Structure 1
């Protein structure tokens, strides 16, 4: 039998029992008669059995950690990469990997890059990058000095031996993310998923424009 009313209300302080963390209900959605709860405006949704009101919880509560990450490079910045000193790269994405162990903890910022003269996709750690021009000056810099760095594309074996990690298609990954957010938007009609879809489309547009400029120069 489908319930007409949710067990929790927006603003309730609850414990996410699978993590032992505390948060507030910030949104409630319904799918196939089942209520799903957003906690602390996170993208994930929890079923009712995963949540307990704080005053009713008898288990152990873990303290939530506040992590402040400072990004030294942003979308569109032009950089050089250790091991590829003759090439220019543009920042097209970045992510943070959080590592926690019993006696140690750290965060790694990984930047996703596109090589200017051939569109090769690479990723590198923050300490492997040197800023050449910020996003506002990047295109002007490439037009003025880019030809100096227009070296032939390295062979596959050189890429594999480089300290920079080399992965598959960045475009494919973005399209997968777009389809995921499209499905979530269709299910829940939440505007935040629509905004994420638009952000991905903008990134793909910028990528396509950069590739077109590269072809025009060849």
Structure 2
């Protein structure tokens, strides 16, 4: 019986993922049906040997990588007020970071997903549009103290984001929709499809549409 073939790369090797042009370290090696598969930077995906090259052997184009540290001002369950909705209280139910890079400029936007306490309606807002009312661990006490009525279960509505309360609201939403659509077709990741559906809901709400004429592919 012949010796088993050894993996070409070892844990800790610095490699280039040639299909992306990105650099990382091998963090795990798996053997599947006689073929070695490699985890890079503890990512969920696995790469075949022919998709990787040792950094010092690679002479192709490298996509520059950067380490981005994001400090989130608000956390899940925090109660906040939102600019433009001064009479309402919202709860943080999600957040994401949008990273923008151009030739001569760059920035990161933290976008928070919220639900209104009184009726459960959904909203997105930038970090600088929020004011903290109560931390997540004090949220229930705050609600009880001020006698805020919680909504009954119902279909979730969508409020127009304060970011888009201007003349370019629809155009900007459509731009975001097309961006997420391109990402969905490129990576086939369901999270982009959910974002597309969310934007369609916002467009319908803003335009007063009840049909499914928007967002059909």
TM-score, with structure 2 as normaliser: 0.63
Q: State which drifts further: 78-87 or 34-43.
A: 34-43
Q: Runs in 1 of length 4+ with deviation above 6 angstroms?
A: none
How far apart, in 2, do the equivalents of 1:4 and 1:120 lie? Answer: 58
The residue aligned with 1:113 is 114
**SS state of the match for residue 11, structure 1?**
coil
The residue aligned with 2:162 is 163
| CA displacement, residues 128-166 of structure 1 (integer Å, 9 cap, x when unaligned) | 11111111111111111253999xxxxx7x934x52579
Structure 1 122/159 Cα, relative in aligned 2: closer, same or farther at 3 Å? closer
What do you get for the CA RMSD once the two structures are aligned? Answer: 3.0
How far apart, in 1, do the equivalents of 2:36 and 2:147 lie? Answer: 55
- Using the TM superposition, give the Cα deviation of residue 19 of structure 1 relative to its aligned residue in structure 2, in angstroms: 3.1
| CA displacement, residues 189-216 of structure 1 (integer Å, 9 cap, x when unaligned) | xxxxxxxxxxxxxxxxxxxxxxxxxxxx
User: Are 2:75 and 1:74 equivalent residues in the alignment?
Assistant: yes
Unaligned runs of 5+ in 1: 151-155, 167-175, 178-218
- Using the TM superposition, give the Cα deviation of residue 110 of structure 1 relative to its aligned residue in structure 2, in angstroms: 0.7
How far apart, in 2, do the equivalents of 1:118 and 1:31 lie? Answer: 51
Greater relative contact order: 1 or 2 (C-alpha under 8 angstroms, separation 6 or more)? 1
How far apart, in 2, do the equivalents of 1:114 and 1:159 lie? Answer: 9
Higher helix share: 1
Unaligned runs of 5+ in 2: 152-156, 165-172, 174-189, 192-217
Residue pair 1:87, 1:149 contacting (<8 A) in 2 also = no
The residue aligned with 2:132 is 131
**SS state of the match for residue 147, structure 1?**
coil
TM-score, with structure 1 as normaliser: 0.63
